[in-house]
Amino acid sequence: MTLPLLPTSGVGSWPKKKRGQKGNLDAVSKKETAEFIKNQEQLGIDILVDGEFYRGDMATDYGRALALPIADWTRSYGNRFWKKPIVDRQLIAKEALQTEPYIYAQSLTTHPVKGMLTGPTTLANWSLHTYYRKREDRVFAYADVVNFEAKELEKAGAKYIQIDEPAIGEYHWEAELFNEGLRRAREGITAYIITHICYGDFKLVYPRLKNLSVDQIDIELANDLDRPEQSELITQMKKDPLTQYKDVAVGVIDIRPDVPVEDVDTVTRRIKTTIDILGPTPDLLQRIWIKPDCGFRTHKNPTTAYAKMKVMMDAVKKVREQYVL
Amino acid sequence: MKTTINGPYPRIGSELTQKLREETGAEETHPTILQHLQNDVTKELVRELVTAGIDLPNDGLVYANDELSWPLENTDGITFGGMHKTLHTNIIHRHIICTGEIKQKHFINPLHTTAVTEHSVKLELPGPYTLACHTEIGKTAPYKNIEEIAHAYAEFYRGVLLSRKKEDFVQFNEPSIIAYKREHPNLEMLPELYQNMLHKTKAQTAIWTSSGHYTRQTIDLLFSLPVDTIGIDFVWDQNVETLLKKISTDKNIGFGIVDSGDTGWCGQDDKNSIVKTLRSFAGYTYLSKALVAPNATLEHLPRNYAQQKIKLLRQIADEVNK
């Protein structure tokens, strides 16, 4: 499939109706997935995501699939809580968690759909542990689990696999461990691998990104693009554009539910600023993808989420017209 | 030796805390109902802490969005940006951006909890140095560097401290002084910073550090500050024992020696080894005035695990006090 200039994609999650966190693809999830796939096609998005309607939590679902005990709620911030799996035994993956949702979503469209996984460092950090004492043992054990999942996705036909690693900013000094975890997770995989990172102090991690064993780095940038002169991250990007090393998917939409829908001019400006920083030459420009900062699961209803994605697509179309290679 | 905890206490795990969670996450929250629920949950948490044997409880920081940015909620000169991870953890705080002169508009008064609960609680604040390290100085801010903004925060806190009585206990959490693999800029500002902040204030004070390692210089610096108690992280730095035994001080030591689970490990602490370490300080500090605590917030753990940690703290203190 030939992608246009500035290919677009979502990051993963979409608002879902309130229900118990199940971590499985039930009838309601299937209906919501079908609707969301259609919405993305209507918007003209290039690489689709499945909306993650089946998902409970990024680490908890894996814990359940691995038959680990699940701890009671712990808080991340504000009113956000999650249940950490407790790794109390050796991790051995027997059944894939993510293949069924991928197969279902892909059956609904001819556009490529991403297979979605959680990365090994995030899984290790967002679990409690009583078995693996050393951090590298935790990360590598989970890397084997993620590799198993990735292989199953590839067997099922996934051409794009996203490995979410929002924990990249945690233990930021463990660059080699993080890299090795990702490398093991993608070992033997020929699909296009994306790693999505968010919620980080990216100026600490930016220098490491070029060495990651992935094809694309997916990074949130909307707020920094509004004040590029003040952003330390943008300063680093200007000095050493990541597009020299990898494809880069740039977040141009602030997904927080309390942030109003941006106007097209704002998002157009963000995209153009991105091009100035990361795509100053035609070959680097072709490595830029456009997406929202993150998934939309924190939204209570899909209306504003849809409006934000529409603004993004309108802005992308405007910029594409101005850049004819 | 007395027991205490640091940072927010798990606010989920009971029917009441579940109600608070639902109200906080509701489409339309009712401020009065929310306030009442926060008060009730605070009462419940403090009662739990005291019943389990915590001598110096905090109020669980139930009202706090996060441990770092909460005092700046209604402050002139401050806006909040996106979300940042707090140190090495998956606990998140709001990005603090200074856009103007920092002035107290309406400080959330945690001492309302004294009216709310039957027990006195310590007031816990993110320290001015740590706040400064986590603040982005915006273009319109009147401060040029981290030192100026730290002093602004210290001045902001003076207003809070001047109303405190000598029976009150105020703790400043300062992980940025030693946070592992992070910059610790301008540590030399700390003595003047704390002197200015605490000048003519009456409350008992503590500074608590965590999530990193200590050098002789940082230990000397910490123990030179005009506070009564210095909290030390023995979980991250098991060698700090040697450093501490080389200094001569009349300050109290806060032993952050029970594992809060901040690195993910939730296996059992070695109680006997902890008691042995604490007893070994008998010739070096007044153990009767010392505090024993988890090394960081117990919010890394679910409430049932946190309850076990508190029980353990009581057992440890009782053994040491024998």
**Residue A219 burial (10 A CB sphere; 0-12, 13-18, 19+):** buried
The predicted-structure confidence for B255-312, as pLDDT tens digits, reads as follows 999 999 999 999 999 999 999 999 999 989 989 999 999 999 999 999 999 999 999 9
Chain B partners within 8 Å of A126 (Cβ)? 90
- Residues in chain A closer than 8 A to B19 (CB atoms): none
Our CA-based measurement puts residue B322 at a distance from the nearest CA of chain A, in whole angstroms, of 31
Q: What is the DSSP letter of B121?
A: -
- Nearest Cα neighbor of B173 from B216, B131, B221 is B131
Nearest to B65 among A77, A167, A201 (CB): A77
So what's the pLDDT on residue B114? 57
- Between positions 272 and 291 of A, the ones with CB within 8 A of B are none
Residue A23 is predicted with a pLDDT of 58
Query: Residue B21 has what pLDDT?
Result: 86
Query: Counting beta carbons within 10 angstroms of the beta carbon of residue B289, is it exposed (0 to 12), middle (13 to 18) or buried (19 or more)?
Result: middle
Contact B321, B281 (CB under 8 A): no
> Which residues of chain A neighbour B82 with C-beta distances below 8 Å?
199, 220, 223, 256
- The dihedral region occupied by A188, where left means phi > 0, alpha psi between -120 and 50, and beta the remainder, is left
Residue B60 touches partner A, C-beta closer than 8 Å: no
- Are A196 and A165 a contacting pair, CB within 8 Å? yes
Measured on CA atoms in the order B174, B177, B179, B183, is the torsion positive or negative?
positive
* Least Cα separation, residue B12 to chain A (angstroms): 7
Is ipTM over 0.95? no
Q: Which amino acid is it at B26? A: A
How many Å apart are CA A255 and CA A297, to the nearest integer? 9
pLDDT on residue B1: 95
Q: Which residues of A touch B10 (CB under 8 A)?
A: 73-75
Asked if B28 is an interface residue toward chain A (Cβ–Cβ < 8 A), one would say no
Beta-carbon separation of B265 and A84 below 8 A: no
Cβ distance B88 to A172 less than 8 Å, yes or no, reads yes
Does B7 contact A at CB distance below 8 Å?
no
Q: Which residue of B has its CA nearest to A167?
A: B90
Chain A nearest-CA distance from B238, in A, is 16
Per residue, the 3-state secondary structure of chain A, as one string, reads: CCCCCCCEECCCECCCCCCCCCCCCCHHHHHHHHHHHHHHHHHCCCEECCECCCCCCCCHHHHHHCCCCEEEEEEEECCEEEEEEEECCCCCCCCCCCHHHHHHHHHCCCCCECEEEECHHHHHHCCEECCCCCHHHHHHHHHHHHHHHHHHHHHCCCCEEEEECHHHHCCCCCHHHHHHHHHHHCCCCCCEEEEEECCCCHHHHHHHHCCCCCCEEEEECHHHHHCCCCCHHHHHHHHCCHHHCCEEEEECCCCCCCCCCCCHHHHHHHHHHHHHHHCCCHHHHCCEEEECCCCCCCCCCHHHHHHHHHHHHHHHHHHHHHCCC
Neighbours of A157 (CB within 10 A): 14
Nearest-CB residue to A126 (from B90, B136, B302):
B90
Q: Does B264 touch chain A (CB under 8 A)?
A: yes
Tell the CATH topology of A27-322.
Answer: TIM Barrel (3.20.20)
A240-297 pLDDT, tens digit each? 999 999 999 999 999 988 899 999 999 999 999 999 999 999 999 999 999 999 999 8
Q: Which residues pair with A195 in a beta bridge?
A: A163, A217
Identify all chain B residues contacting A76, using CB atoms and an 8 Å cutoff. 90-92
Measure in Å the smallest separation between the Cα of B32 and chain A Cα atoms.
18
A70-77: strand order across its sheet: A70-77, A80-87, A128-129
Which chain B residues contact residue A172 at CB under 8 A? 88, 181
- CATH number of the B66-107+122-227 domain: 3.20.20.210
Instruction: Determine which of A68, A70, A77 to mutate to test the interface with B (most B C-beta atoms within 10 Å).
Output: A77
pLDDT of residue A69: 96
**Alpha carbons B304 and B307: distance in angstroms, whole number:** 5
Show me where the domains of chain B are located. Answer: 66-107+122-227
A170: closest CA of chain B, how far (Å): 4
Beta strands (DSSP E) in B72-203 are: 75-85, 92-104, 123-126, 135-137, 169-173
Question: A78: nearest CA in chain B?
Answer: B65
Comparing CB atoms, the residue among A78, A129, A200 nearest residue B264 is A129
Contacting residues of B for A175, CB less than 8 Å apart: none
Query: How far apart (Å, rounded) are the C-alpha atoms in residues B240 and B274?
Result: 14
Q: Is A172 within 8 Å of chain B by CB?
A: yes
For residue A88, give the chain B residue with the closest CA: B267
pLDDT of residue A140: 98
Q: Both tokens of residue B215? A: 């050098």
Token readout for B2 is 């007395």
Cβ-Cβ contacts under 8 Å for B319 (sequence gap 6 or more)? B271, B275
B304 touches chain A (CB under 8 A): yes
Q: What is the pLDDT along chain A (325 residues), one digit of tens a residue?
A: 789 999 999 999 998 876 655 556 788 889 999 999 999 999 999 999 999 998 888 899 999 999 999 999 888 777 788 899 999 999 999 989 999 999 999 999 999 999 999 999 999 999 999 999 999 999 999 999 999 999 999 999 999 999 999 898 889 889 999 999 999 999 999 999 999 987 667 777 888 899 999 999 999 999 889 989 888 889 999 999 999 999 999 999 999 888 999 999 999 999 999 999 999 999 999 999 999 999 998 887 789 999 999 999 999 999 999 986 5
Q: Which residues contact B53 (CB under 8 A, 6 or more apart)?
A: B3, B310, B311, B313, B314, B317
Residue A298 is predicted with a pLDDT of 81
User: Residue A111's pLDDT is what?
Assistant: 97
Sign of CA dihedral B131, B137, B141, B142: positive
Low-confidence ranges of chain B (pLDDT < 50): none
**Residue-level pLDDT at B321:** 94
Q: Measure B89 CA to nearest chain A CA, in Å.
A: 6
B contact residues 196-255, partner A, Cβ 8 Å cutoff: none
